[in-house]
A and B are shown apart, each in its own frame.
Chain A
Amino acid sequence: MILYPDGFLGQDYTNFTLEFLPNDSEEAFLKNCVKQGDDWYYKNTPITYNINSYGHRSPDIKDIDFDNYILFSGCSHTEGVGLELEKTYPYLLAKQLKCTYYNLALAASGIDVLEYNLLHWFLTYKKKPKYVVIQWPDHSRFISLYPGYEHILPNGSWCTTEEEKRFFTCGESTGFFNARKYISFSLIKKIVDVPIITVNITSLSLYDNVSLSWKKLDLARDLLHYGIKSHASLVDIILTNIRENQVKT
């Protein structure tokens, strides 16, 4: 992850097109092809990851209609890892609502990165989105930086060193992770002065009791992330929520 000169945190690579990602690797794909058989959807369906100039899997900022757009934020699920772009819920929701969109989501990121990019957006651009959709990430994730290194490292449940594992344990037992997300989402709700739709992934620690629940119905190409049906179902849930005028502001 990199902090770009214009102030956004993004993936290490920009203006790049990829067929695989570190968390949706070709190696894993080839193994999965053998396991899943010939009629596996992804066997003959390539995925293209277009990463824009800020390191986001999103249309470029210059292509947004600032009078008609939705802003998304979250982790790899919202970035759409393991899915064709056209099957991801940000793309589908924006299409349903006839809006353009920007997707700030970053794989492996936590509430620190999410808050930072959202606040930076709102403090930078005067024209506000119609809605902000926030998919809360695992609350224990954090970024780290070591002296002398440029790259920002995302940390989470995949970390294996004793220091990191002990930090996660103590963060839970002391209530530090609860306080951190409480402060972050309270600040987000204060600065983001447009309707916010928040989404909890059911398998993760909840942020609150008012967010929409997103259940896993199927799997993406990497057999880890939420799949096509799951993304389509979230679009339905959000649209229902909008229609019923129950958007939390």
Chain B
Amino acid sequence: MRLLQGFIGNDDHDNLYNSFGHRCKEIDNLNFHNYVLFLGDNVALNLNKPIEDTYPYLISKALKVDYYNLSIFNGGVDCFRFNLLSWFNKFKETPPRFIVVSFEFLNAVMVSNHNYDYLNPADFNIDDVKDLYHYANLSGFFTGRNLLNESIISRHINVPIYQICFKDKNTLFNKNVYNISYDGPLEDSHSISELFVKDYKLRNSKVRP
């Protein structure tokens, strides 16, 4: 993971990402007049499959819009907030039509050293990291962190927010959001996409005389 050119990006070991470390086309090639912004973590990246099998690709294709995918592998809510607010700060004149948010691990945390030489997702196989999660949970840390994140984003991101809610997974937004609940396998991007597109069209359909 890296903080590069103003955004947090994924480390690219297998040529999966663009020059910013994001799983989508380059920013320079984005149609800023008609696009959707995707944010979240692992499910939106679907790293074991070709990019054509990620739900951001499938949804944008079905809705005939361009898209950018700011999702970060195991990035949690801190990377989400950083990338979302950075995007709206940099491209405030050309916001997306709406944003789509999903989390497999909302409460993931990052680690670094005193000199900030690296920024990595915490490795859950390490005992201290397991303890960190356990005691963060018990001391109300995650609840507080999520409250502040939801508040700052709900107040200042003035485009519709769609939240895909996975079964037994934490979600960030409790209000001012369109929720789409998905119970199937997380790697099945086609089903996620179909559900989303159906729901989106239903919500946005107009009654014609």
Contact = CB atoms under 8 A, between A and B. Distances in A.
Interface stretch (A68-76, A174-182, A219-227): A174-182
Contacts of B8: 183
A113 to B, nearest CB: 8
A171 to B, nearest CB: 6
Give the interface size bracket for A toward B. 35 or more
A95 interface: no
A99 interface: no
A173 B128 contact: yes
Given A7-B155, A187-B81, A144 B141 contact: yes
Nearest to A6: B155
A191 B111 contact: no
Nearest to A187: B82
Contacts of B30: none
Interface stretch (A28-36, A147-155, A241-249): A147-155
A188 B112 CA distance: 18
A191 B85 contact: yes
Contacts of A174: 109, 111, 122, 126, 128-129, 132
B141 A179 contact: no
Contacts of B114: 178, 205-206
A112 B82 contact: no
Contact of B144 (A112, A186, A206): A112
Interface stretch (A81-89, A115-123, A196-204): A115-123
A234 to B, nearest CB: 24
B35 to A, nearest CB: 21
A62 interface: no
Interface in B118-133: 119-120, 122, 126, 128-129, 131-132
Most buried by A among B135, B151, B152: B135
B85 A153 contact: no
Most buried by A among B79, B141, B143: B141
A166 B81 contact: no
Interface string B67-85: 0000000000011011001
A146 interface: yes
Interface of A: 3, 7, 9, 112-113, 116, 119-120, 123-124, 142-147, 152-153, 155, 159, 161, 163-164, 166-167, 170-171, 173-176, 178-180, 182-183, 186-187, 190-191, 205-206
6 contacts: A166-B131, A170-B129, A176-B110, A176-B132, A180-B110, A182-B112
